[in-house]
A and B are shown apart, each in its own frame.
Chain A
């Protein structure tokens, strides 16, 4: 029975998303896109936090890298959305290789503070390089050109069309992150989290594997940033701010650090909850904070983690079942 759980869940998600795309109102479609973009950001991020055990406070820099990479490519080179997104991811990866190179030598608080410092450095760069980045106004007018592949041209101008592109990237990201978690690389990463000494004794380069996790999560952040740029047709320097780096951390905590689906469920709760609260009060920050606190403290192992243990799905402690059941 468990063997079918994963494909079943994947099909259910896909069917649900397609239904939202076809039947949902314009606002529902928009909010779902925001959930998916945050989920891509957090899925990648959780490879670093949940899997490798490294708490980064600078991943917004890579989100912004993807965002500005795509926008600058759009303005100066080519307007093809897929090429722009690729350019965004490339810039995010380059940034994360450089920043990661300096950060992964350290762990825990030193790692967290270094990433925070680098992240805010990127923020200041974006803020100050006005000629290139538009300063605090950001880059505006990043329109969604049609995707043309050979003879076919698909218009993305309508949000309901763009939705399916975001959905496709979201499903691919889900699959990729799943594969990475199950791969030898993923297993070594959780080994590093559990006991880095042992991994080192096994003759494995801690630095290289940490860097790999860092760069992969940076790449996903870049993808999320590029998608967000086309969603809102602009870039903003605040996307590189540390407060934005805190989002994937929160989302992973809400959903469950040790689970595969945790960041996705966390993103859903984070975005929808805030949206609901804002309908009742302008003092939303207070209530949002209180409810998040209750969720994080009340659900051990996050919402997904506690559901899994509540339903008794997780009776085999090995890696495989964890991935499957979650």
Chain B
């Protein structure tokens, strides 16, 4: 008996014990929630992030980085993504398409990125889409606004790897038209950037406003090339046309220059209704300070006072205490990108591209900017950003939105299949 090592009784006992442990384990030690996903994810989750970090718009890159870095630190200080750390590498995207492609290839093929994020220029976003399909990695676009990215590349060409967390040109064109329909202005003119973004937004504004209000006309256009520093000829053109309303998608430093020169020319006394779709960007608000007149309609891709809930307030406070800045919209989109990826990876239980794509499609997530839903068909995040009238607030050294009007994303975003009746607002 000694040599057998194990008696039948012992054997049975052991068997019973194992079975008991197994059944018990299944009930008690069953991995739940976060930990259920851990075994499938190996190593850190790596995000390659590129934004403009050189030249006149370098400030945007800094704001991207602040948001992203904050999210990374918060996630890593907590439990990471599905129990593993998240790592981010930043690169200067310049504004050139071929540099953006090179960066993306570096991130994926050399650095080993699992996900990509960032991108400011529409041309870059469009050029990157087929590359993302080839590299088979998810790109979360956080700034570039062209609707062609989601309508054509994602929806029509079926490039599933591209998502966008920021509002597209619908916010600048369509939503603006909903605001304009209630403004007592019958003639509209524009000073806008002489490139696709400017043309597209003005076209969208005209189309949608034309449908919403029959008796409007569009009486003047003045297109300012990229890098314009002297807006006086454009201001004169528009003042000669004497429209009731001015609509301008100038942004960043060029919008600051435009407003300063328009002040000198007395444009705001002559034209009472002015709309700046990207006027609520922090660089513009801070850059203009009190020089931005009151009662100008402004909007953006996120405004730090909206939504006025605790989550957003806490986030803005944390951002201010860490960076001594108010968060720009690219800070919010960069920050939320990390949390959207975290949620999707944990839901998918994997960082495998196809699985995360599936998890992201239709996913809802609460972010500082409010609740976002990634529309399944075109991978566009649906969330609401208000339009508002500028006013002085003693609490801030710059103008903020006073009266706010909300045009809901589902009311003003084009709808799939993007062609034919009922795809463009008003619905």
Residues of A whose CB lies within 8 Å of any CB of B are: 25-27, 30-31, 34, 127-128, 130, 134-138, 140-141, 143, 159, 228, 232-234, 236, 238-239, 275, 278, 282, 284-285
Contacts and interface: CB of A to CB of B under 8 A. Distances in A.
A234 B109 CA distance: 20
Contacts of A137: 122-123, 126, 146, 148, 196
Contacts of B195: 127, 135-136
Interface string B118-150: 000011001101110010000000000010100
The residue in A130, A136, A159, A238 that gathers the most chain B C-beta atoms within 10 A of its C-beta is A136
B126 A140 contact: yes
Contacts of B54: 285
Interface stretch (B89-97, B280-288, B290-298, B390-398): B89-97
B53 A141 contact: no
B105 A233 contact: no
A243 to B, nearest CB: 9
Contacts of A228: 98
A232 B101 contact: yes
B127 A30 contact: no
Contacts, number: 80
Contacts of A232: 97-98, 101, 127, 131
B350 to A, nearest CB: 22
B97 A236 contact: yes
A275 B105 contact: no
Contacts of A25: 109-110
Contacts of A138: 97, 123, 126-127
A136 B105 contact: no
A30 B98 contact: no
Contacts of B325: none
Q: Chain B, interface size: which category?
A: 20 to 34
B23 interface: no
Contact of A27 (B61, B105, B225): B105
A238 B127 CA distance: 13
A25 B95 CA distance: 26
A128 B196 CA distance: 10
B263 interface: no
Given A137-B196, A141-B157, A232-B101, A27 B130 contact: no
A138 B106 CA distance: 23
B35 interface: no
A74 B129 CA distance: 19
A135 B134 CA distance: 25
Contacts of A282: 53, 61, 90-92
Contacts of A134: 196
A236 B196 contact: no
Interface in B195-216: 195-196, 199
A239 B92 CA distance: 18
B213 to A, nearest CB: 28
8 contacts: A26-B109, A127-B194, A127-B225, A135-B196, A138-B123, A232-B127, A236-B97, A282-B53
B110 A27 contact: yes
Top 3 nearest A-B pairs (CB, nearest first) are A27-B109, A136-B195, A234-B127
A130 B199 contact: yes
A236 B127 contact: yes
A34 B194 CA distance: 30
Interface string B247-290: 00000000000000000000000000000000000000000000
